[in-house]
Amino acid sequence: MVSVYLSSAPARVCLYGEHQDYLLQKVIPAAINLRLNIISEKTKREYITISSKNLNKSIRIFPSIEKLSNPNDSFKSFMEAGIISLKQNFKDIQIPLISATIKSFIPVASGLSSSAALLVGWISHLAGILELNLKNDEIAELAYDAEHDIMSIPCGKMDQYSSAYGSIISLSCTEPPKLKCLNNPNSGLIIVNSNIPKLTNEVHGSKVYKIKSTVQKTEKLTNLELENIQRDDIGKYAKELSKEELIIIQAIISIKEDTKLAERELQSVKPDLHLLGKLLSSQQDALRDGIRVSLPILDKIVKTGIEEGALGGKLTGAGLGGCAVLLVEENGKCILQRIKERLKLPTWSVEFDGGVYFKIT
């Protein structure tokens, strides 16, 4: 009987800590039940075939690959990068010759980490067939290595760790990362897609460079690391920062402090949903006015959601497009319907979900 291999990895929303992971600060992501699935069988061909149902595209990859064959082909680059990452970290492995099919329920370029789910699911798939018995953090690190080092995408580690571990986690993006599982607040989440693809390259280019340079300048002025800089410290050096730098650092610190408060609340037995909602909206304010990665449609989604009964909301992902996430009471079906009717945008009610898994059937 022919073995069929299956791996599945979840999307994620960033609840608290947007634009903090690449600054090596704390983030709170949550895996949700929009998933990417990979099934495969071994073949006798000399190459790997991979078909994407969503992209209506098929590719071939030779297992001897050492570097990306065509960086302009995003889908193929991701799949090649996963293979290269495994080969660089496990020198004696033989990449299995398989025919794989990918089907994803995660909208692309939406701020829900479809790319991280793809790499986490793909690396878990190959590692499972090879019986490498990788732990979740090892899968996350390999996926990060593929995206950051091999594909040269300046991402942090939040997306890969969230997809690998699942549930709600607090992740300190230090080296090595420190992870803590948080309590499910028994709430609902509503995702609304702006239908504007997020401009990851733009955000991860000049925007991230400006944020990092502002943080470095502030650390030098205060003689403190970002982790220890408080709101009150900034006022003493306001004249030595440009207006843009002052707005950025105030927003970064606001997000950092909100994230700490949210972590504390999510460690309690019965988290205060109203406080968690207010902290979400506070982060949206900082992302809109300070980091300046929101858009009028994302602001409208959050505003409409709150008007219809959501406890708070924010954009999720790098920004300048993609989705917004709204926190609602456990049963938010009525809110969901009213939001759909008003905004006429793709809208989902989602649940917190587990992490990546692999099995043989």
Helix (H) or strand (E) holding 116: helix 114-129
pLDDT, tens digit, 9 for 90 and up, residues 181-232:
999 998 999 999 999 987 665 566 788 889 999 999 999 999 999 999 998 8
Domains of the chain: 5-183+354-360 (3.30.230.10)
Contact criterion met (CB below 8 Å) for 143 and 164? yes
Choose among 28, 32, 19, 31: nearest CA to 263: 28
Contact criterion met (CB below 8 Å) for 85 and 290? no
CA–centroid distance for 333 within its chain: 25
pLDDT of 221 reads: 96
Choose among 74, 287, 18: nearest CA to 201: 74
pLDDT of 73 reads: 81
pLDDT of 331 reads: 67
Local structure of 211: helix, strand or coil: helix
Q: What's the start-to-end Cα distance of the chain, in Å? A: 10
Quick check: 89 pLDDT over 70?
yes
d(CA 136, CA 169): 13
CA distance to 50, 58, 74, 104, 110, per residue, from 55 (Å): 11, 9, 11, 10, 15
Average pLDDT over residues 245-253: 97
> Looking at the chain, how many residues does it have?
361
pLDDT of 333 reads: 80
Which DSSP letter does residue 78 get? Answer: H
pLDDT, tens digit, 9 for 90 and up, residues 278-292:
999 999 999 999 999
